[in-house]
Structure 1
Amino acid sequence: MSGIFTHIGDIAENIPVITSDTKCEAVYRLFRSNPNLEGVAIVGAEGMPSLLMRARFFQQIGTQYGYNLYMGRPVELVMNNGPLVVDYMEQITDVSIQAMNRSEEELYDLVLVTSKGALSGAISIRRLLLAVADVRAEMASFMNPLTGLPGNRIIDDRLCQSYLLERFSVLYLDLDYFKSYNDSYGFKMGDALIQATADLLRQYFTVPEAFLGHIGGDDFIVILNHHEFRKDCEEVIAGFEELKREFYNS
């Protein structure tokens, strides 16, 4: 897709990084001097980053003996050793699912992002959810609103990709006399027929072997990564002959 971020690393923001032997007192000053700072990343000798969220830190030191217990001791005593860490190239939507599947206690923690094994940044849940909303809105603009199938922009991309394949087949499907049917039965019935046709095609042409797109109106396209299409086409035609009976008055 163009015009929108899809990789999680594209929306990552800088996050302060400290070492695991940093004293809690120093972290306390860091949080106090940066009221909007949600958390800090901790990098230890093993390389994988850990995380310390602001809320959890103040919760720890806010106990009866917490302040005196932790202030002079290293931050590794209170940090989260198992935060959600994702690679820069992971998809935003995939990361959002991982984030929402975390425990209740960690649900709103920052997500840490690495690139080639090194910490690249972090993402707040608010920023992540806003990005997911943007991705979904952008995806919707690429889909046919009637059938939910990929529309012309995605179809064009898939056709260009197919030229790189060793072999492929392109099937163009439309409904005979659809305009006459629309004129006789009305647009509502016509739309229902197109939706039913799309559902029928989905049964036979599914990824990864096939790509099914909706050009518009009663026109569909299928792109296959092989040449064995005759049997499926015959079954689709037979299925449609059965299906269309439901759309005529007896």
Structure 2
Amino acid sequence: AQALGLSLSSLVLELTEHERVTDIGAILGVIERLRRHGGALAFDDFGDGHSSLRLWSELHPEYVKIDKYFVSQVNQHSHKLQTVQALSRLAETFGSKLVAEGVETADELEILRDLGLPYAQGFYLGRPKTDPSSAPSPDAERVLHSRQISVLPLQKQVSNRGLTARALLIEAPTVGAAASHELVADIFKQNKGLHALPLIEGERPVGLISRKTLQDLFLQIFFRDLYGNRPCRLHANPDPLLVDIHTPLENLTEILTSADQRYLTEGFVITEGGLYRGLGTGADLVRMVTEARIEAARHANPLTFLPGNIPITLHIQRLLDNQQDFIACYADLNQFKAFNDHYGYWRGDAMIRLQAECLQAVCDPRRDFIGHVGGDDFVLLLQSPDWKERLERAVQTFNGKAVNLFDPADQIAGGVRTEDRNGQLRFHPCTTVSLGVVKIAPGRYRDAESVANAAASAKHHAKQNRAGVYLLEQAPKLQAHAKADNRGS
């Protein structure tokens, strides 16, 4: 550095991914001397080679360069996005600044900008030069100063991430296989909530007898006299379902569709390494699987695989936080209930998938976001300047294709006849789509709820006016503002 006439404060020592650090103390000494003169340490290509979290924790580098594998197409792959987000949290913990390597497209730079990465390098910002420019390329400058936000790739949500059979574990008393029916009956009497009792030999389960089974037996005439003091193994299930405590919850859903429904009534035995640990019930399994799948549906709709309510809310809030003009559009079908009642849910699902396909086809994946609220309700958040033409094209395409889902006779008739709530036959025209639109200006809407309410109001007007695309010029006063005013009064 001195030979080149450079100050030591401008020197950054880079530890490459191929360097294996064996003597932490020695390298720390070198780094501390460098830091005393204003120098700094950088890790290169973190995520490749010998780079490690332990080394990051011990050396506290000022800069960490993210390997280009995680940067390339980060706008398309949720696992790369989540990796960069995790590294950002680690950098904050360790007091380091991240540098994204290998940025080659506007989409990559845009998403890294939105994630808050302080530094980036790559051909899109500028080619290597002996006399480097002090500013990035004009294209990169436009991305960095644009208020348009990126559309994040949908993060795959595992409906039961991290959940195993341990979550279903119920501690329960045990008996030996030779225990009498009378003893088992006494244990059930003392443990009102116990649904079954495991039979154990040498810590290994050898049977299971349910409360219901024992109750039915004791209702039989002379059973107590004949079997009361005999071993309970005579009437226990000798082959209960054994579930290892580490089994992922998703694997247990097969129990729900099993031909042997005893598992739903008497439950199952939870083991670890073949040894008894506790019991599980079919009711708890049904509840937990249902809750997990409902939560997953809030992230991605299971019919269309489009983002659900949570990603929709997060994207609206990102747009609001960035003070970005955008279009909020609420899409809903007309006469869909009559169609669904007449043809059944299978064809009803086909109609909703067609709706999703037509709406998604007009969205620019770089600028426009589409989410599926549920049923035939969709939300579009558009940053494309030609949004009106896009939406009109979606309406025209859907209305033209939706007719093909009707039977030929109903196509000729122009709709279907179905009974109303009073049992009277009513004619319903072929299904069409209505789009309610609101222009969202910076500062007018405080939160995602108020934007969604305004878009829903526009959708209501669109259906009332039988308009394909209806722009609500004067959006209603914000609920969020009204609530704030009420709190202040």
Partner of 1:116: 273
Task: Tell me, yes or no, if the aligned pair for 2:168 and 2:280 is still in contact at 8 Å.
Answer: yes
Partner of 1:228: none
Partner of 1:196: 357
Distance 1:60 1:247, change over 3 A: closer
Spell out the pairing of 1:3-14 with structure 2 (5 A cutoff): 6-14=163-171
Aligned to 2:276, the other structure's residue is in SS state: strand
Q: State how far apart, in whole Å, the 1-side matches of 2:278 and 2:300 are.
A: 32
Spell out the pairing of 1:1-250 with structure 2 (5 A cutoff): 6-44=163-201, 47-105=204-262, 107-143=264-300, 147-149=304-306, 187=331, 195-196=356-357, 217=369, 246=397
Deviation at 1:92, TM superposition (A): 2.3
Deviation at 1:61, TM superposition (A): 2.7
Residue by residue over 1:33-92, the C-alpha shift from the partner in whole angstroms, topping out at 9 and shown as x without a partner, is 222221111113593442110110121232112111211111111111112221222232
Aligned to 2:208, the other structure's residue is in SS state: strand
Structure-1-length-normalised TM-score: 0.58
- Report which structure shows greater RCO (CA 8 Å, sep ≥6): 1
What is the aligned-residue RMSD (CA, Å)? 4.3
Distance 1:192 1:60, change over 3 A: closer
Match for 2:291: what amino acid?
D
Q: State how far apart, in whole Å, the 2-side matches of 1:8 and 1:216 are.
A: 41
Unaligned runs of 5+ in 2: 1-157, 312-325, 334-351, 362-366, 372-395, 401-489
Task: Tell me, yes or no, if the aligned pair for 1:43 and 1:49 is still in contact at 8 Å.
Answer: yes
Match for 1:195: what amino acid?
A
Match for 1:67: what amino acid?
R
Task: Tell me, yes or no, if the aligned pair for 2:174 and 2:197 is still in contact at 8 Å.
Answer: yes
Q: State how far apart, in whole Å, the 2-side matches of 1:2 and 1:145 are.
A: 11
Deviation at 1:7, TM superposition (A): 1.0
- Alignment: residue pair count: 186
Distance 1:10 1:216, change over 3 A: farther
Distance 1:139 1:58, change over 3 A: same
Q: State how far apart, in whole Å, the 1-side matches of 2:262 and 2:302 are.
A: 39
Q: State how far apart, in whole Å, the 2-side matches of 1:9 and 1:72 are.
A: 35
Residue by residue over 1:170-217, the C-alpha shift from the partner in whole angstroms, topping out at 9 and shown as x without a partner, is xxxxxxxxx99x99xx9569x9778327999xxxxxxxxxxxxxx972
Q: State how far apart, in whole Å, the 2-side matches of 1:119 and 1:28 are.
A: 21
Match for 1:148: what amino acid?
F
Task: Tell me, yes or no, if the aligned pair for 1:60 and 1:66 is still in contact at 8 Å.
Answer: yes
Task: Tell me, yes or no, if the aligned pair for 1:40 and 1:52 is still in contact at 8 Å.
Answer: yes
Match for 2:249: what amino acid?
I
Aligned to 1:138, the other structure's residue is in SS state: helix
The percentage of counterpart residues that share the same residue type is 21
State the structure with more CA Rg. 2
Structure-2-length-normalised TM-score: 0.32
